[in-house]
Amino acid sequence: MELLFTPEFWSALLAIIVIDLVLAGDNAIVIGMAARNLPAHQQKKAIIWGTVGAIVIRALATLAVVWLLRIPGLLLVGGLILIWISLKLLVQEEGHENMKASGSLGSAIWTIIVADTVMGLDNVIAVAGAAHGDFLLVVIGLIISVPIMVWGSTMILKFMERFPIVIFIGAGVLAYTAGSMVTNEKLLAPFFAAYPWVKWVFIVAVVVGVLLIGRMKNQKQKRMAEQS
């Protein structure tokens, strides 16, 4: 129980909540589009059962990733992947317009589960990295993500559209988590332990680099869209 009162536990939980908030939006779009052709009385069932199935698979995947990240070298790989994910978050991409709506309850539930499993890789890696191997944090993070995906995602999407700074905060948290994963890698830990200041310089450089590169790419994309 003492773990629940440590600053490390609460800071990691806060990071997981932020990650769930900023990464749940795309999954909510998939859920909504998969169920949009169903009768009204079946839409809620499709969303609930599809989300439940997706959460179960995500829970197993996250716990598996937490275990895998303990293997030497994989924490470094996970951190590098998370840097790419944080950059992708800042660069707006349209990829849902071809999402096929399902006509039956069963197919809608299956579509939601499969699509969320494929799209939830970023969330799995991010939550596993932020949890630092703590399975309790993984479980709490997943419990938090359920109401976010089912009820709060539409509101969060509108909030992020109105206040773009939220996206940058989320990307910053992801970048910080990625930097921490790299510096906690067993193969590199002795070096960072010998030079603690290098660890923080590296983490700050990752966060600043991600935010700057993401912002520049986003602005370039917007200029190209305006010219076309």
- Domain range annotation of the chain: 10-227
Closest to 150 measured CA to CA, from 18, 30, 63, 60: 30
What lies within 8 Å, CB to CB, of 75 at 6+ separation is 69, 129, 181, 182, 184, 185, 186
53-105 residue pLDDT tens: 777 777 788 778 878 777 888 788 888 888 887 887 777 554 444 445 555 77
Closest to 129 measured CA to CA, from 93, 179, 172, 88: 179
pTM for the full predicted model: 0.68
DSSP 125: H
At 209, the pLDDT band (50, 70, 90 cuts) reads: very high
Structure tokens at 182: 């790299």
pLDDT value for 198: 92
What lies within 8 Å, CB to CB, of 36 at 6+ separation is 43, 101
At 1, the pLDDT band (50, 70, 90 cuts) reads: very low
What lies within 8 Å, CB to CB, of 189 at 6+ separation is 183
Phi, psi (5° rounding) for residue 7? -60, -35
107-130 residue pLDDT tens: 777 777 776 666 566 677 777 778
Structure tokens at 114: 């499969």
Cβ atoms of residues 192 and 64 within 8 Å: no
